[in-house]
Chain A
Amino acid sequence: MNLEEHAAKPLLAAEGIAVPRGRLCASADEAANAAQNLGPCVVKAQVPTGKRGKAGGIKLAAHPDEARNAATAILGMTIGGHVVTRVLVEEQVPIARELYAAVLNDPASKGPLVLFSAAGGMDIEEIAATRPDSLKRLAVDIEVGLDHATARPLVDGLGPAAPAAADTLAALYALYRRCDAELVEINPLVVTKDWRIVALDCKLVADDAAVPRQPNMAKLGTPETLTDLERRGRELGLRYIELDGPVGLLANGAGLTMTTMDAIVHLGGKPSNFLEIGGDAYTQAKPALELVLANPRVRSLVVNFCGAFARTDVMADGVVKAWQTLKPRIPVFFSIHGTGEDEAIALVKRELGITPFDRMEDAVNAAVRAAR
């Protein structure tokens, strides 16, 4: 769940981190109006992707007419595949220097990691590549947390701005914890000419798994761009990803589904979807298969089950029922192993007259050839 700048900045402000005054605008007129109140301003495209500046999505405006022109130019642009429908108009801030600050989930320490650099303005990969010496890391003990004193060594060297910078890091960490973030990044975080610390941008990625206790994040987050079939999958609680090949696939478990997809490509084919019915979703084989077959590109189908937790007899029953309901005119190839395999194989033979392949590779190969 990604929060765009305009959605994340009020969260920073609520945590006590200063942000520029600004207004979210959907038209050039609104932008001009906002600039009237704000004075010299910045007009910024609101899209859930980075590198907006390089794409021309951020422009300075000295007065309302310039803000109107900037908004006219930016609204309707496509940046990283996203069409800009809104701009954030913000007051300009007198910048003395630019910093970088972030808190994120760190697989190495299995806890939160604070990143800080006195070289801001570039993205983190650039900082790591060009100014690695400036990038400071602090693995935080999540049972203890981060306060002013523990953050202070990261910001030594900022002179009179150091105390406020340490407070900012502590506040950023508090926000990360409060909203179950996977990442909160301020880039640039600036020191103003009067030694204030202001967040000029903010990126926040919230943890999807925490949504049940963070309903606000779900409201503030940018909805994912989904195809119609993907949306239908979501409504059914199925993780369906639409792809552009002709070989439909249905497997259980994330690892096996990826492997089936890999085998399709390895054997010269192209998959038309990713869809796993792992976990409790294994009882959803019927709606899952209906979804796979609803993709008009599908010319053959491979069903690959390897039951552990998921019972192959239950899954095969779902497949057989979907097949008998929809009566698709495409060839289907099975490979079935693991929990419940005897019943599952017998069922597929009896109801569909099809004998599953012993090896997954053979089933995939047959489906790839049939789709040609």
Chain B
Amino acid sequence: MIPRNEHRVLVLGITGRQGQFWTQKMREQGTDVVGGVNPKKAGTEQDGVPVFASAREAARTRPFDIAVMFVPPMGAKDSAIDAIEAGAKMVVVLTEHIPQQDVMLIHAAARRHGARIFGPNTAGLVTPGEGFIGIMPGFNANVFRPGTIGVISRSGSLGTLVCLNLVTAGFGQSAFLGLGGDPLPGTTSREALAMLDRDDRTRGVVLVGEIGGGMEEEAADYAGSMRKPVVAFIAGRAAPPGKRMGHAGAIVMGERGTYESKRQALEAAGVRVAATPGEIGRLLADRIAPDFPGAG
């Protein structure tokens, strides 16, 4: 499921500084925020949005499809599981530094209830022209325009740069799917590729990965089976081994998680791997016509 404007969104932690700011931004772009959660402020309103004590309580009067979390790390597990048990089809976990075993418990609950998790530590999802969920600049027309390229990224900042480059090259986006920098992402590159492969609006895909883990290698086979062109960029080529590069998941251990391993797996599957983000638009334009001819 790719977020559309008909999806109803619940904001967990809506009354905090960031929760307030981004809820307003999301609504300005068309996202249908039907409620928020803060146990201490239940019964009040935040900019006209009703605030509930829990997702379960919200679900009684304000059914929702997607929950997005602005909740500190130590409260993240309970908050996410509350949303899953309340019937969320998708939970977007923005929180960074959640203990890994709590992340596992979130994933276990999601499996039991058939919910999809994005994150932890994702910047969110954007469907240009319809809305966005999270902390991406979904409101910036230099970065996001309705179009036909699906973008998958572990990083918000780099994903933003890639989307900006796409617009410059004459491409808009059908969807931006932020997977997050956590070592245990709820939605993997491979799963995100499958989502975009099934999506009628998507003609091509940009996969933005980074060193660490084996997610890009795992996605390579699937990418090779797709008829839609896939272009990739992998960050961290110059990272020294054994050091965590900001994201908890971005670390090279021995032969595992290296740039070369990812590049080789993707190229072997027929995916073009760009050397710099600036090349992505050109590699894509080699395969499909731009969304906005005459741009760039």
Is B123 on the interface with A (CB-CB < 8 A)? yes
Q: Does B235 contact A (CB under 8 A)?
A: yes
CB closest residue in chain B, given A359: B278
A254-B155, A256-B161, A258-B239 known; A308+B123 contact, CB < 8 A: yes
Contact indicator B101/A142 (Cβ below 8 Å): yes
> B239 and A252: CB pair below 8 A?
no
In Å, the complex CA distance between A253 and B136 comes to 12
Please tell me if the beta carbons of A105 and B161 are within 8 angstroms of each other in the complex: no
Contact of B157 among A125, A142, A255, A262 (CB under 8 A): A255
* Chain A residues whose CB sits within 8 angstroms of the CB of B73 once the complex forms: 209, 212
Contact of A255 among B99, B135, B208 (CB under 8 A): B208
Q: Are B235 and A266 within 8 A (Cβ)?
A: no
Give the residues in chain B near A182, CB-CB below 8 Å. 100
In the complex the two chains form, is A257's CB within 8 Å of B245's CB?
Answer: yes
Residue of B with least CB distance to A276? B246
In Å, the complex CA distance between A263 and B275 comes to: 8
Which residue of B is nearest A181, CB measured?
A: B101
B157 surroundings in chain A (CB, below 8 A): 251-257, 278, 306-308, 310
User: How far in angstroms is the closest Cβ of chain B from A26?
Assistant: 27
Is B210 interfacial (CB-CB < 8 Å)? yes
Interface residues of A in 100-153 (CB under 8 A from B): 105, 107, 110-112, 125, 141-143
* Among B158, B159, B275: residue with most chain A CB under 10 A: B158
Q: Does B194 contact A (CB under 8 A)?
A: no
User: Is the pair A262, B237 in contact by a Cβ cutoff of 8 Å?
Assistant: yes
Q: Which residue of A lies closest to B107 (CB)?
A: A110
Interface string of B70-110 (1 = CB under 8 A from A): 00011000000000000000000000111111011101110
As a 0/1 sequence over residues 225 to 252 of chain A, the CB contacts with chain B under 8 angstroms (1 = contact) are 0000000000000010101000000011
**Interface size class of chain B, counting residues whose CB lies under 8 Å from the partner chain:** 35 or more
Distance, CA A265 to CA B238, complexed state (A):
7
Docked CA distance A362–B82 (Å): 47
* Stretch in B39-47, B55-63, B247-255 with 4+ CB within 8 Å of A: B247-255
B181 touches A209 (CB 8 A): no
* In the assembled complex, A213 has its CB within 8 A of some CB on chain B: yes
> Contact check: which of A111, A209, A338 meets B107 at CB < 8 Å?
A111
Q: Do B161 and A111 touch across chains, with their CB atoms under 8 A apart? A: no
Q: How far is the CB of B286 from chain A (nearest CB, A)?
A: 19
| CA–CA, A239 and B283, complex, Å | 33
Given known A-B contacts A143-B105, A254-B246, A258-B236, A309 and B123 have beta carbons under 8 A apart: yes
- The 10 closest A-B CB pairs, nearest first, are A255-B155, A253-B157, A254-B246, A255-B158, A256-B157, A210-B99, A309-B135, A265-B238, A258-B235, A110-B107
B residues whose Cβ falls under 8 Å from a Cβ of A: 18, 73-74, 96-101, 103-105, 107-109, 112, 123, 135-137, 140, 142-143, 153-161, 164, 181, 183-184, 186, 208, 210-211, 213-215, 233, 235-240, 243-248, 250, 254, 275-278
**20 interchain pairs, CB-CB under 8 A:** A112-B101, A209-B73, A209-B98, A212-B74, A213-B99, A241-B243, A243-B240, A254-B210, A254-B246, A255-B246, A256-B155, A258-B210, A259-B161, A265-B237, A308-B137, A308-B160, A337-B143, A338-B160, A359-B278, A360-B161
Q: A105-B100, A255-B210 are in contact. List 20 more A-B contacts (CB 8 A).
A: A107-B214, A110-B186, A143-B108, A182-B100, A208-B248, A213-B74, A241-B240, A241-B245, A253-B158, A254-B246, A258-B239, A258-B245, A262-B237, A266-B275, A274-B243, A274-B245, A274-B246, A308-B160, A337-B161, A338-B137
> A residues within 8 Å of B by Cβ?
105, 107, 110-112, 125, 141-143, 177, 180, 182, 207-210, 212-213, 239, 241, 243, 251-259, 261-266, 271, 274, 276, 278-279, 306-310, 337-339, 341, 359-361
